[in-house]
Amino acid sequence: MNKRQLHIIIMGAPGCGKGTQAKQIVSNFGFVHLSTGELFRKKYSQKNQETIAFKHAIDKGGFFSDEMAYQIIQDFISENSEVEGIIYDGFPRDIAQAKYFRKHICTNPIVIELKADEEQLIDRILKRASKKNRKDDQSEKTIQHRMELYRKKTYPVVDLFAKEDLLHTYHSEGKIEKVANQIKELIEKMQQKH
C-alpha cells in the first residue's frame, strides 16, 4: 500500500451528490474514484446464483456483505497503488467497515460529508433513475428504505469521524461548482500537510 496516497471518504445520504463531487475531485486532482456500487455492478454483471442474490438485495435498497466490500476495496487499492489519491464513495457504510478502514487502509482519512434536504434527495434520485435506468432508484419505497438504512447504519459512521475530528461537512443543495471549490480548497490544504 502506498503510504503517500491520500484517502478521501465521501459520505452522505443517497442522492446527495457523492458521485458528482467525486468526479470533480478526479477532474481537479487526477485521483481515482472507487464507487463500491459501480464496482459491484461491473464485477457481478455476470449471472450466477451468488451474483443474482446479491443483485436482488441491491435492487431492493440493501447492501452487500462486508466480506464482499472488503475484497472489492482491497482489489481496487492493489490495482491503483501508484495513484496519488483514492476517493471512496459508498464505503465505509457502517461502524464495522469504518473500523476495518482505519485498521487496514488508512488511520487518518479525509472524510467529506455532503448534506441536503431529504425531499430534495428523493427528487434527485427519481430523476437519476429515469435518466440512467437504475432499478435500485425507481421506487420511492426503495429510496425510503435506503434513506432509513443510511440513518441507522451509516450516519453513526459520520458521528464517529466527527468525534475524531476527521469530518468536513458541506451542504450539497447549492451549485455543484461552489461545493467542488470548497472541497478542492480542503484537499489542497491537506496535500500540503501530507
Distance from C-alpha of 161 to C-alpha of 9, rounded to nearest angstrom: 10
14 annotated binding-site participant? no
The three three-digit cell numbers of residue 20, written as one number: 458528482
What's the mean per-residue pLDDT of the chain? 88
61 annotated binding-site participant? no
pLDDT for 121 beyond 70: yes
pLDDT for 111 beyond 70: yes
19 annotated binding-site participant? yes
20 annotated binding-site participant? yes
Query: What is the per-residue pLDDT across 45-69, written as a single tens digit (0 to 9) for each?
Result: 667 666 666 666 666 656 667 887 8
28 and 180 Cβ atoms separated by less than 8 Å: yes
Query: Does domain 6-188 bear CATH number 3.40.50.300?
Result: yes
41 annotated binding-site participant? yes
pLDDT for 126 beyond 80: yes
92 annotated binding-site participant? yes
% of the chain beyond a pLDDT of 90: 61
151 annotated binding-site participant? no
33 and 26 Cβ atoms separated by less than 8 Å: yes
The three three-digit cell numbers of residue 183, written as one number: 472541497
15 annotated binding-site participant? yes
17 annotated binding-site participant? yes
* β-sheet bridge partners, residue 11: 113
Domain segments of the chain: what residues? 6-188
Tell me the pLDDT band of 39, cut-offs 50, 70 and 90. Answer: confident
